Amino acid sequence: MTVLRWLDRPGEQGVTWGVPWTRGQVRPGTPFALSDAAGRDVPVQSWVTATWPDGSVKWSAHAVGAGPAAEWYRLEPGREPAVPGTPVTVTREDGVLRVDTGVVTWTIGGRSTLARSIARGGREIARDVRLVSLRQREPTPDEGGTVAREQATGLVERVTVEQDGPVRAVVRLEGRHGDWLPFTVRLYFHAGAEHVRIMHTFVWDGDPERDFLAGLGLRADVVMRDELHDRHIRLAGGHGFHTEAVRGLTGLRRDPGRSARRAQVEGRAAGELHPDVASRLHLIPAWNDHTLDQGGADGYTLRKRTGEGHAWVTAPSGTRSAGYGYAGGPSGGLAFGLRDFWRLHPTRLDVRNAATGLATVTVWLWSPSAPAMDVRFYHDGLGQDTFAEQLEGLEITYEDYEPGFGDARGVARTHELGLRAHDGTPGAAELAAHAAALNEPGLLTCAPERVRAAGVFGVWGLPDRSTPAHAEIEDRLDFLFDLYVREREQRRWYGFWDYGDVMHTYDPDRHTWRYDVGGYAWDNSELSPDLWLWLQYLRTGRADVFRFAEAMTRHTGEVDVHHLGRWKGLGSRHNVQHWGCSCKQVRISNAAYRRFHYYLTADERTGDLLDELSAPEETFLAVDPLRKVREDAYTPDPSALSVGLGTDWGALAAAWLTRWERHGDERARDRLLGTMADIGALPHGFLTGEARLDLATGRFDTGRDAVSVSHLSALFGLPEICAELIALDLGVPGFERAWLDYCRLYLAPPERQEAELGRRLSGISLVQAHSRLTAYAAARTGDAEQAAELAAWAWRKFFLDEGDQLNNNPLQREPEWRLTLVDGPHVPHPVHEAPFVGTNGAAQYALAAVHNLALIGGHLPRR
């Protein structure tokens, strides 16, 4: 039995979530039943998302339909679930799908629509739900001028029913925005729900020199049956809604009557009007078109007009719109919205033709009011035509440039939208609740203690403040997370391509992050902030940590990774532009960074990202990560591919493991177990640094006898994935020994390295980060004396910046972590800064702290 509680706010229009299970606890085919806090059975739909090596359920996913939310729920394996009184159904006839939630019916079919019709209670509310886009062949001129725009409607090429009820149905539609921009749209239906969740993903496949996206949106036509003065337009501000009518009755020289005025504001039929007004209705302008335009993170404009060919009238505007709207009347209407509307600017909400029988609403993911999207590379190459020149550039701006590699082709973006069919105009409070639910959708979760007991996600433990020394580390973990939340707001890390990422390094001279300096700008998962945030969520259960980590997963899995083209399956290293770096590696497209979100939410789009890595080893044919620094004549060879045993193999292992546990993929299993055995068979195991992989067999050549380490090898998920693999007890000879040797020796005194390896290791760096390797060795040894010695050494390296051959971590040198207020004319606005914090140091401090507390917390010295 598992108790489930809401992450932050309850969900009342259907919720999907994931639950972990201890190995061997739940056998395949076991049913699940759900009951609420009062003991009433709640209909639930369940499926398995991962299994343990013995075939038992590791992660299950569950969905409930619409209805009043209980405070908490109880999930029980082994008992048959309740059946919904009105299930969601999916029927197909003559090539048309009809999905009926019991409240609304969507008719899906046709090349140019996502849905032909949306009906409620047998009455059509909306029709022709479709995707629209605008393209320019040149950028928007700085000083105005005419630029032709091509309009296109998204064309659906494939429709797949992924789930068909009884509680949850999922329909996947794939196609293109005209002749470019492949898209995937998922429609989510829950039993009893009026709201339908829509996930839209597009992949950029244009030519950056001649393709400029000037608009991208979701559009629907709304049937308008009511009198013009009974037609209501609602557009969200930051706290409530702008209350508009197509033909207004308030503020007139003649009073239509208090009840009529109040009814119009509240969204009801106005009823009988005073004769002085009723006889003059034709003289009151009808406001046909309405627009709310969110051009940036700090301001939206609201305007309306009586029709095309007439001037716009500006209405009171505001700062951050919740991105939700409604068009309709007492006989029905459609609500529409975009999650993170202002955070993903430039965005826009449109209502057109509201004075006609068929209004058109559009949720713009890229506002046509903004300059067209420009993804060209940000500089001309600066003469860096050779590897030698590029390495010189790396030395000054930390940018790994190479001609042609700063191409955005293949990057993607996912947006979450919602459409809700109403049988009448909702009140302001109801609309506000719906907007809040769209922006912070409900999620049921297990307590951290319950997740920890299941034994998933490797090494982590619950927060521990049992001593002042423990409390100090926990305080610093909180400080770092709170700092990045504050920095996201202070620095406005928002926008279509940027939201979800953080910056890499701070510039204390300018009191800003190095947004314009080569490889110091957007972080792109460098040194695993994704892992830090997810582990911090697991151990605390904090909703704000989850939301931050979720936004990062959405960003780094989509924008920082190429999903088609020559670099498909590879991510881009940190850069001024997310796709700008020539370092394309699986360390960024790493499955280890996405697994958390997938298993906790059962999100199908995140599952797609994991499926893209079904054969991650083949990416090493596309580009050699070490091509600029190699001293040999290596070129990628399918029978002998160079694979680093750190960042490379760690990412491969995460992808293979995830593929195996999600799909039972024997190929992935064999490559995982085979390469684990090969690493164990190498004379120096992980300390070999590199091995050659045969793509045909999926095995390493074990004849390499060398010793080489990199300070980056263990900082992109390798310790986390190795801990998971060892805990699985897969019976692979030599693997654990190989990993423990690496953990013991990386930070060992040089004399010990020399005694065991015949040489001292060079390039030792990021000492604090690697202290968690020593901690792992301490926890795994069966010798109490050796464990105490290694634990003491690990804590010493965690607290002292000694023996670092390449880097110095400012976090270790800063005795008091606090914010400093910077104010005055030398900064554009006051900021609270912590100039000693960079994302590399923050992420790795946090990961080392989490591991060390969990593994050797009992050996933490007094401070």
Domain boundaries, the chain: 2-77, 89-247+290-375+406-439, 248-284, 458-859
Phi-psi region of 356 (alpha: psi -120 to 50; beta: other; left: phi over 0): beta
C-beta of residue 544 within 8 angstroms of C-beta of residue 533: no
Is pLDDT at 863 greater than 80 in this prediction? Answer: no
Residues with Cβ within 8 Å of 197's Cβ and at least 6 positions away in sequence, in order, are 14, 187, 188, 416, 417, 418, 441
Q: What is the pLDDT of residues 630-675, one digit of tens each?
A: 988 899 999 999 999 999 999 999 999 999 999 999 999 999 999 9
Residues with Cβ within 8 Å of 228's Cβ and at least 6 positions away in sequence, in order, are 246, 247, 281, 286, 355
Cα separation, 96 vs 108, whole angstroms: 6
What does the pLDDT read at residue 632?
Answer: 86
Average of per-residue pLDDT across 609-629 = 95
DSSP conformation letters of 694-761: ETTTTEE-TT-------TTTTSSSHHHHHHHHHHHT---TTHHHHHHHHHHHTTS-HHHHHHHHSS--
What does the pLDDT read at residue 420?
Answer: 98
The residue type found at 720 is E
The residue type found at 304 is K
> What's the fold here for domain 89-247+290-375+406-439?
Beta-galactosidase; Chain A, domain 5 (2.70.98)
C-beta of residue 798 within 8 angstroms of C-beta of residue 776: no
Q: Where does the pLDDT of residue 45 fall: very low under 50, low under 70, confident under 90, or very high at 90 and above?
A: very high
Residues with Cβ within 8 Å of 330's Cβ and at least 6 positions away in sequence, in order, are 226, 230, 267, 268, 269, 424, 425
What pTM was computed for the model?
0.97
Task: Classify burial at 730, counting beta carbons within 10 Å of its beta carbon; exposed 0-12, middle 13-18, buried 19 or more.
Answer: middle
Distances (CA, A) of 25 to 28, 84, 455, 533, 595: 10, 27, 12, 28, 21
Q: What is the pLDDT of residues 665-679, one digit of tens each?
A: 999 999 999 999 999
- The torsion angles phi and psi of 780, rounded to 5 degrees, stand at -95, -15
Instruction: Identify the three-state secondary structure at position 815.
Output: coil
Is pLDDT at 775 greater than 80 in this prediction? Answer: yes
Cα separation, 350 vs 335, whole angstroms: 12
Structure tokens that stand for 327 in this block: 């068009």
Q: Where does the pLDDT of residue 144 fall: very low under 50, low under 70, confident under 90, or very high at 90 and above?
A: confident
C-beta of residue 352 within 8 angstroms of C-beta of residue 465: no
Cα separation, 73 vs 18, whole angstroms: 14
Residues with Cβ within 8 Å of 381's Cβ and at least 6 positions away in sequence, in order, are 401, 403
C-beta of residue 411 within 8 angstroms of C-beta of residue 419: no
Averaged pLDDT of the chain: 97
Indicate if the alpha-carbon torsion angle 274, 278, 284, 288 is positive or negative. positive
C-beta of residue 455 within 8 angstroms of C-beta of residue 850: no
* Among 13, 168, 179, residue whose Cα is nearest residue 81: 168
Rounded to 10 degrees, what is the CA torsion of 565, 566, 569, 570? -130
What does the pLDDT read at residue 801?
Answer: 79
Residues with Cβ within 8 Å of 356's Cβ and at least 6 positions away in sequence, in order, are 224, 288
Q: What is the pLDDT of residues 486-542, one digit of tens each?
A: 999 999 999 999 999 999 999 999 999 999 999 999 999 999 999 999 999 999 999
Q: What is the pLDDT of residues 340-392, one digit of tens each?
A: 999 999 999 999 999 999 999 999 999 999 999 999 999 999 999 999 999 99
* Among 598, 831, 587, 821, residue whose Cα is nearest residue 710: 587
DSSP conformation letters of 846-858: HHHHHHHHHHHGG
Structure tokens that stand for 201 in this block: 């993903």
Residues with Cβ within 8 Å of 385's Cβ and at least 6 positions away in sequence, in order, are 403
Structure tokens that stand for 646 in this block: 């750190």
* Among 359, 297, 304, 285, residue whose Cα is nearest residue 326: 359
Share of the chain above pLDDT 70, in %: 100
- Yes or no: domain 458-859 corresponds to CATH 1.50.10: yes
Q: What's 60's DSSP letter?
A: E
Q: Where does the pLDDT of residue 313 fall: very low under 50, low under 70, confident under 90, or very high at 90 and above?
A: very high
Residues with Cβ within 8 Å of 7's Cβ and at least 6 positions away in sequence, in order, are 442, 443, 444, 445, 543, 546
